[in-house]
């Protein structure tokens, strides 16, 4: 790699200033040697800009985006001559795309709970469930709510056995609406942010049955795109019902999920067993399922065309089969809801199939890079979704592993026993690589590590690919003729075997390791190290192992909170001297408690003693309240007004989540009902040197469109709690 090549790319010594020597010169030579791999870092640069946008504690003003937009344009022009300018252009482009996407989907959202209201809207989707249905409505009319405060979409849960309405119909019902619930702890999952990009402004529950009504005279007709979307939703709902009628028992819910993407009918016990066995990815429509569908369509179509000599001898039936597989994959993506992993898989499959039709190979790391670029450009918010992260992590690791394995070419083996063993070894190796690549994300989001996932996948994945999915696709083809029964029976038998495998593996000793959730900085270090290891080809890629090791060490040493307080004040958890958390109420009875257990790495949690001390002695309670002593700090949780007055004179921190404590001069920190309503859930860190660090949900989220504070509702709708209701929306 000569000096002229370096100068051409803009990475020569003259390109960054004369006199550059030493380590930087070595780095430039290494980068120049990897010139063919630079493109693979394009989605990383794009994602970095998107991540910076979402990490901001404030929303940039539209006028402030003009300069970055112009700079992106100039850098893009400069990159035509020197590609090194893309290093700056792509992060800026990602930042601008994320900001533009936020503005594009902006819509009103509730900021506080309403009382019973009359809701009328068009049904976009009706999701079935056990004894309940969830309706997604748009084109809304909500009583006592001004038109400029009406959300674009709401999701309402209906209890009972009333049949689901058809997508596209207009319904009216009485319901109670709430804003999308905020994170349950600082740094936790931000559902309002996700809802913002889905234009979901409220969730709620019905207070009675729904009824069909006629559309308003001035309601605009459905456009072509809307008709297609509603048609797909209606088809999905119809197919799910037919599958559930044809596959009895728990297998029906999984069969419906595999073919239509509807997961609401999966039994909770089976869902947990699948998670504990490392088979949860089989329930979420992803690249594995779309690859199976496209592959089955391709081979079946090619086989059938080969049976017709007039076609097979004169026409390129292999390319025809690839075209049919492309159409089949596209239909399956739409039918299952077009989630991010499915979009990624379809883009990759489409490029590969088009390459096959053009007689060009397409399976490479460049393929996954272009898929990531397209997904991030269309939906920048998908970078924050676990489905995007885990699916791309698994595929990048698998392609990098296959690139490494392909360098050692093994002779073609004709003996079938050896070929079968080699295939099994490849399945084992692929499962191991994908499991290791996705393990950091599982630890970050769920705090769980599955020990026997390799064994479960070795049994379940071939069964899914060779029995369940082929039978399911055949059933989809036969449903219009009413002949799907035998195919669904075969599919159900295969699903029953997968369920039996999951239950068996989940009950093995030590099947699941419950660990504290991996902190975000540790996850970022591991991800960057993994990308460095996978995207480069030369020996310096091994330096990525240092970043991975640093991330693991950071995850072990990262300070954990000592006290957690729910935003509604109904649950408090404190750390005992043994390191375990004690809860003010049984944590398994609430979603917040389960979230906290996962965050701190506990399978179960003890409850505050009514009278006496906790097991390790840090917490002591009596009829007036509780006192928590840890690292020299005195934390009081009074239950009565008299105890509050006394604790305000002696305690360092006073926590009264059920009342206001405006006058508490002796305490350094007072966390009362007013503070919790304003700041949300709290996490408190108690330092050994007397320092106290308090994190809040509001502090973590900042002032973003999806975290806008509540505004009072001028018409004074009554809330369920008897106080004045409000139906705020973002400014």
At 454-472, the pLDDT tens digits run 888 888 888 888 889 889 8
The percentage of residues in the chain with a pLDDT greater than 70, rounded to a whole number, is: 85
Degrees, nearest 5: CA angle 79-80-82: 55
Give the pLDDT score at 447.
86
Read off the pLDDT of each residue in 686-712 and give the average, rounded to a whole number. 82
Q: Which of 73-82, 290-299, 540-549 shows the lowest per-residue confidence on average (mean pLDDT)? A: 73-82
**CA atoms of 723 and 284, how far apart (whole Å):** 42
Domain 116-213: top CATH class = mainly beta
Residues 368-392 as b/e (b if ≥16 CB within 10 A, e otherwise) read bbbbbbebbeebbbbbbbbbbbbbb
Q: What is the pLDDT of residue 155?
A: 95
Q: Are 201 and 107 in contact (CB under 8 A)?
A: yes
The answer to whether residue 16 scores a pLDDT higher than 70 is no
Instruction: Report which secondary-structure segment, H or E, holds 450.
Output: strand 448-450
Q: Report CA torsion sign: 156, 160, 166, 169.
A: negative
Q: Which of 208-222, 530-544, 704-718 bottoms out in mean pLDDT, i.e. has the lowest?
A: 704-718
With cut-offs at 50, 70 and 90, classify the pLDDT of residue 608: very high
Burial letters for 397-420: b for 16+ Cβ neighbours within 10 Å, e otherwise?
A: bbbbbbeeeeeeeeeeeeeeeeee
Instruction: Let me know if 282 is exposed, middle or buried by CB neighbors in 10 A (0-12, 13-18, 19+).
Output: buried
Q: What is the pLDDT of residues 526-548, one digit of tens each?
A: 999 999 999 988 888 899 999 99
pLDDT at residue 68 greater than cutoff 70 = no
pLDDT of amino acid 287: 66
3-state secondary structure of 369: helix
Q: Which parts of 247-384 fold into alpha helices (H)?
A: 250-260, 268-276, 287-306, 309-312, 317-335, 340-357, 365-378
The domain segmentation of the chain, as residue ranges, is: 1-33, 36-104, 116-213, 237-388+455-512, 520-557, 563-688
Specify the residue for token string 């002696």: 650
Cβ pair 261, 502 in contact under 8 A: no
Q: Which of 258-272, 346-360, 544-558, 608-622 has the lowest mean pLDDT?
A: 346-360
- DSSP code for 589: G
- Whether the per-residue pLDDT at 480 is higher than 80: the answer is yes
* Rounded Cα gap, residues 162 and 156, in angstroms: 14
Choice between 649 and 665, residue whose per-residue pLDDT is larger: 649
CA pair distance 169, 163, nearest whole angstrom: 13
Strand, coil or helix: 292:
helix
pLDDT tens digit string along 719-731?
333 332 333 333 3
Angle of the 340-357 helix axis to the 386-406 helix axis, nearest 10: 40
pLDDT score for 720: 32
Short-list 169, 269, 145, CA closest to 219:
169
**pLDDT at residue 421 greater than cutoff 60:** yes
Q: What is the mean pLDDT of residues 374-390?
A: 89
Which residues fall within 8 angstroms of residue 422, CB to CB, at 6 or more apart?
A: 413
Helix (H, G, I), strand (E, B) or coil at 178: strand
Check residue 295 and give its pLDDT: 84
Q: What is the pLDDT of residue 353?
A: 81
How high is the pLDDT of residue 699?
A: 92
Q: Does the pLDDT at position 5 exceed 60?
A: no
Least confident of 60-74, 467-481, 572-586, 716-730: 716-730
List pLDDT tens digits, range 105-134: 999 998 788 889 999 999 988 877 666 788
pLDDT at res. 76: 58
Distance CA 580, CA 16 (A): 54
Predicted confidence at residue 54, as pLDDT, reads 95
Q: Would you place residue 413 in the very low, low, confident or very high pLDDT band (cuts 50, 70, 90)?
A: low
* Residue 340 scores a pLDDT above 70: no
pLDDT of residue 145 exceeding 50: yes
Please give the mean pLDDT across all residues of the chain.
83
Whether the pLDDT of residue 717 is over 50: the answer is no
CA distances from 107 to 196, 419, 497, 731 (A): 8, 57, 46, 10
pLDDT band at 10 (very low <50, low <70, confident <90, very high): very low
Q: Interhelix angle for 386-406 vs 520-535, to 10°?
A: 30
What is the per-residue pLDDT for 71? Answer: 66
Q: What is the mean pLDDT of residues 593-614?
A: 90
The pLDDT of residue 358 is above 80? no
pLDDT tens digit string along 394-405? 889 988 888 877
What's the pLDDT at 620?
A: 94
* Residue 657 pLDDT greater than 50, yes or no: yes
């Amino acid at each position: 790699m000569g000096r002229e090549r370096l100068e051409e790319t803009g990475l020569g010594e003259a390109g960054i200033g004369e006199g550059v020597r030493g380590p930087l010169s070595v780095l430039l030579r290494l980068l120049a040697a990897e010139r063919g791999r630079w493109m693979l870092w394009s989605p990383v640069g794009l994602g970095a800009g998107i991540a910076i946008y979402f990490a901001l504690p404030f929303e940039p003003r539209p006028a402030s985006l003009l300069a970055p937009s112009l700079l992106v344009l100039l850098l893009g022009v400069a990159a035509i001559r020197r590609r090194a300018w893309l290093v700056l252009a792509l992060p800026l482009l990602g930042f601008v795309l994320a900001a533009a996407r936020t503005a594009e989907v902006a819509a009103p959202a509730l900021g506080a709970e309403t009382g019973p209201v009359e809701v009328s809207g068009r049904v976009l989707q009706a999701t079935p469930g056990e004894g309940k249905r969830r309706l997604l409505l748009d084109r809304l009319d909500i009583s006592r709510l001004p038109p400029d405060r009406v959300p674009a979409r709401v999701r309402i849960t209906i209890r009972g056995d009333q049949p689901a309405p058809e997508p596209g119909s207009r319904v009216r019902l009485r319901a109670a609406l709430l804003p999308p619930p905020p994170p349950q702890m600082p740094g936790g999952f931000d559902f309002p942010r996700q809802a913002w990009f889905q234009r979901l402004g409220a969730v709620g529950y019905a207070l009675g049955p729904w009824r069909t009504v006629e559309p308003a005279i001035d309601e605009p007709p459905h456009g072509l795109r809307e008709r297609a979307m509603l048609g797909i939703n209606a088809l999905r709902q119809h197919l799910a019902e037919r599958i559930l009628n044809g596959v009895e028992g728990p297998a029906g819910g999984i069969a419906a999920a595999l073919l239509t993407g509807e997961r609401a009918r999966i039994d909770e016990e089976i869902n947990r067993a699948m998670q504990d066995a490392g088979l949860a990815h089989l329930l979420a429509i992803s690249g594995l399922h779309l690859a199976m569908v496209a592959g089955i369509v391709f081979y079946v179509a090619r086989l059938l065309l080969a049976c017709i000599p007039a076609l097979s001898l004169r026409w390129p039936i292999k390319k025809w089969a690839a075209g049919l597989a492309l159409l089949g994959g596209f239909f399956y993506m739409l039918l299952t809801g077009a989630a991010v992993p499915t979009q990624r898989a379809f883009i990759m499959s489409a490029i590969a199939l088009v390459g096959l039709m053009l007689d060009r190979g397409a399976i490479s790391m460049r393929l996954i890079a272009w898929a990531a670029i397209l997904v991030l450009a269309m939906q920048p918010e998908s970078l924050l979704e676990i489905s995007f992260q885990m699916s791309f992590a698994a595929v990048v690791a698998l392609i990098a592993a296959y690139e490494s394995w392909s360098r050692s070419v093994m002779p073609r083996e004709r003996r079938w026993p050896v070929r079968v063993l080699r295939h099994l070894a490849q399945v084992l190796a692929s499962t191991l690589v994908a499991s290791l690549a996705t393990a950091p994300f599982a630890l970050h989001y769920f705090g769980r590590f599955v020990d026997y996932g390799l064994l479960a996948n070795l049994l379940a994945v071939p069964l899914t690919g060779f029995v369940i999915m082929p039978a399911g696709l055949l059933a989809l083809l036969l449903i219009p003729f009413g002949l799907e029964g035998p195919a669904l029976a075969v599919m159900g038998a295969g699903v029953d075997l997968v369920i039996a495998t999951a239950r068996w593996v989940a009950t093995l000793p030590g099947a699941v390791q419950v660990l504290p959730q991996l902190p975000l900085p540790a996850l970022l270090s591991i991800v960057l190290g993994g990308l460095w290891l996978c995207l480069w080809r030369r020996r310096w890629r091994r330096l990525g192992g240092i970043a991975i090791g640093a991330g693991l060490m950071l995850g072990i040493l990262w300070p954990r909170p000592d006290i957690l307080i729910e935003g509604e004040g109904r649950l408090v958890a404190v750390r005992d001297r043994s390191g375990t958390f004690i809860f003010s109420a049984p944590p398994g009875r609430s979603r917040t408690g389960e979230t906290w257990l996962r965050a701190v790495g506990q399978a179960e949690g003890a409850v505050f003693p009514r009278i006496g001390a906790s097991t390790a002695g840090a917490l002591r309670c009596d009829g007036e309240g509780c006192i928590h002593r840890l690292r020299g700090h005195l934390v009081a949780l009074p239950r009565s007004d008299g105890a509050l007055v006394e604790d305000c004179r002696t305690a360092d921190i006073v926590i009264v989540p059920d009342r206001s404590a405006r006058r508490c001069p002796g305490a350094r920190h007072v966390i009362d009902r007013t503070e919790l309503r304003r700041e949300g859930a709290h996490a408190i860190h108690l330092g050994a040197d007397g320092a106290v660090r308090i994190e809040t949900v509001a502090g973590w989220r900042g002032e973003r469109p999806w975290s806008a504070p509540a505004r009072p509702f001028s018409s004074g709708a009554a809330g369920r709690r008897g106080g004045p209701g409000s139906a705020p929306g973002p400014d």
